[in-house]
Structure 1
Amino acid sequence: MNRTSHIDLLICDCDGVLIDSEIITGRVIREALAALVPEHELDVQLAGTFGLQSRDIITRVAAHFGLDLPTDFHPNVRRRAEEIIRAEVQTIAGVREALHAIDLPLAIASNSQHEAVRHALERTGLTERVDVGVFSADRVKRPKPAPDVYLLAASTAGVDPQRCLVVEDSATGATAALTAGMQVIGFLGASHIPPEQGEILRELGVEHLLHDMHELPALVERLRYLNCTTTSA
């Protein structure tokens, strides 16, 4: 007897799913802005912004405080964050083993730039595992929370969005994937995840939450064949 899968493509976010980088980027952004505005007010503005592009976070804070930032402010912040990530970032525990254990084509859909994602794949040992491709913010007109990067991954793979399963850590990314019509697993195991994140993702419509990447293969297997019919060999 053969089971029929209703999932044809696995798509993973990068930051916070493959590598534990969000906490580094957030730290660099905060340090740069804290030199210009009161820290306690800044923290209020930064709350809930993880998953957004660094440029959008900085723009939001600058608008709130009426800052006239120099044109090189964001490039310098991004460059500094990338330098620290390259030197310090840790991979998410178990992610390499988990993704190699899953028998589905794999794509990466990220709000980061292509070069940063490529480095993350090298660091995690997943370059060869990503057989569909890397879909980054610089390849679409609208980054997450717009669905564009996820829809591009699905169309490139020739897979209906409803037959895609996504692993995301942020509300921004989950919103993008859900808007694209995809099923989402919320990953809560990265170091930057706040205690309320699980509830936030559930309110968005994410039904399945995961704290440990070692459990991903079993969850993907269960979701692939959930409510599927069995056919004869």
Structure 2
Amino acid sequence: MKRTCHIDLLICDCDGVLVDSEILSERIMREALSAHVPLAELEVLLHGTFGLQSRDILARVETHFAIRLPHDFHAQHLLRCEALIRSQVQVIPGVHAALHSIDLPLAIASNGRYQAVEHALLRCELSERVDVGIFAAEQVERPKPAPDLYLLAAKTAGVAPQRCLVVEDSVTGVTAALAAGMQVIGFLGASHIPPEHAENLRQLGVEHLIEDMRELPALVERLCYAEPAEVQP
């Protein structure tokens, strides 16, 4: 009997899922902000903020420390991040083989800027595998944690949200994907992921977690062909 796949589209976040860029962005932000606020207190505030847009993180910093950062701080931060990512970002180990083993169309949904995501994918030789498109923060009115980016990707592909499978690393991204009505795999293998993060994602309702991209093809296969009642964590 021929099996029926229940997933029609794979959607991946970029930073921290396909490329190990979050650690670079965090380093640049920490170094730049340490000139304006106490570093020890800043470390506590920044903990777990990955996945948020940098503008939202800076707003938290201004509110917490009751300061006003220079008017061009955000723009300069983006320029420094994008320059560093273009020259240094590395692909997550195992991503190439994993994505080419999965027989599903692929879209990218990122809170980053389109050009930055495009350059990261080009540097890491992933662009050719992305056959549905890149969906970035400036394309929607409300980026993650709102579901808009994921819904836009599904609509563009002509796929119902419930037939989409998302790979995400952050609370922000998982919140967005679940709000879109999509099934989510939590990825814990990037260098910026703290030890307690698995439990954070479980509390949001993520049932399937992986630490190595080599685990992804088999899990996607299982989720694709399992009836909803059969899928277990």
Give the alignment's TM-score, normalised by structure 2: 0.96
CA contact (8 A) 1:109 1:134 kept: yes
Structure 1 ranges of 4+ moved more than 4 A: none
Task: Show the 5 A alignment for 1:110-129.
Answer: 110-129=110-129
- Following the alignment from structure 2 to structure 1, what is the Cα–Cα distance between the partners of residues 38 and 127? 42
8 Å contact kept, 1:29–1:58: no
Distance in 2 (alpha carbons) for counterparts of 1:208 and 1:134:
24
How far apart, in 2, do the equivalents of 1:38 and 1:102 lie? 46
Task: Determine the C-alpha separation between the residues in 2 that align with 1:182 and 1:123.
Answer: 29
Q: Which residue of 2 aligns with 1:217?
A: 217
- The unaligned stretches of length 5 or more in structure 1 are 229-233
Identity score, percent = 70
The residue matched to 2:127 in structure 1 has which SS? Answer: coil
* Residue aligning to 2:186: 186
Aligned pair 1:8/2:11, yes or no? no
Q: Is 1:17 aligned to 2:25, yes or no?
A: no
- Is there any run of 5+ residues in structure 2 with no aligned partner, and where? 229-233
Per-residue displacement from partner, 1:57-102 (whole Å, max 9, x unpaired)?
0111011111112221001011111111111111100101111110
The question of 1:198 aligning with 2:176 is answered no
State the Cα distance separating 1:187 from its structure 2 match.
0.4
Determine whether 1:89 maps to 2:89.
yes
Secondary structure of the 2:11 match is strand
Larger deviation, residues 11-20 vs 78-87: 78-87
State TM-score, norm by structure 1.
Answer: 0.96
1:115-149 alpha-carbon deviations (Å, 9 max, x no partner): 11111211222212111110000100011001100
2:153 counterpart residue number: 153
Rounded to whole Å, the distance in 2 between the matches of 1:215 and 1:65 is 42
Contact 2:89 2:120 (8 Å CA) reproduced: no
2:185 and 2:210 in contact (8 A); partners too: yes
How many Å separate the matches in 1 of 2:124 and 2:182? 25
> Equivalent residue for 1:30?
30
Q: What secondary structure is seen at the aligned counterpart in 1 of 2:24?
A: helix
Aligned residues: 229
The residue that corresponds to 2:165 in the other structure is 165
Separation in 2, partners of 1:180, 1:18: 21
Query: Contact 1:96/1:124 (CA < 8 Å) preserved in 2?
Result: no
User: Alpha-carbon deviation of 1:213?
Assistant: 0.5
Q: Distance in 1 between matches of 2:49 and 2:21?
A: 14
SS in 2 for 1:10: strand
Q: What is the identity, as a one-letter code, of the residue corresponding to 2:119? A: H
d(CA) in 2 for partners of 1:145, 1:15: 15
1:54 Cα deviation from its structure 2 partner: 0.8
Is residue 85–residue 120 contact of structure 2 (8 Å, CA) maintained in 1?
Answer: no
Cα distance in 2, alignment partners of residues 87 and 134 from structure 1:
21
Of stretches 118-127 and 105-114 in structure 1, the one that deviates more from structure 2 is 118-127
Give 2:208's aligned residue: 208
1:106 aligns with 2:106: yes
**What residue identity is the alignment partner of 2:135?**
F
- Which residue is equivalent to 2:77? 77
Check the 8 A contact 1:18/1:120 in 2, yes or no: no
Supply the distance in 2 between the matched residues of 1:128 and 1:24 (Cα, whole angstroms).
24
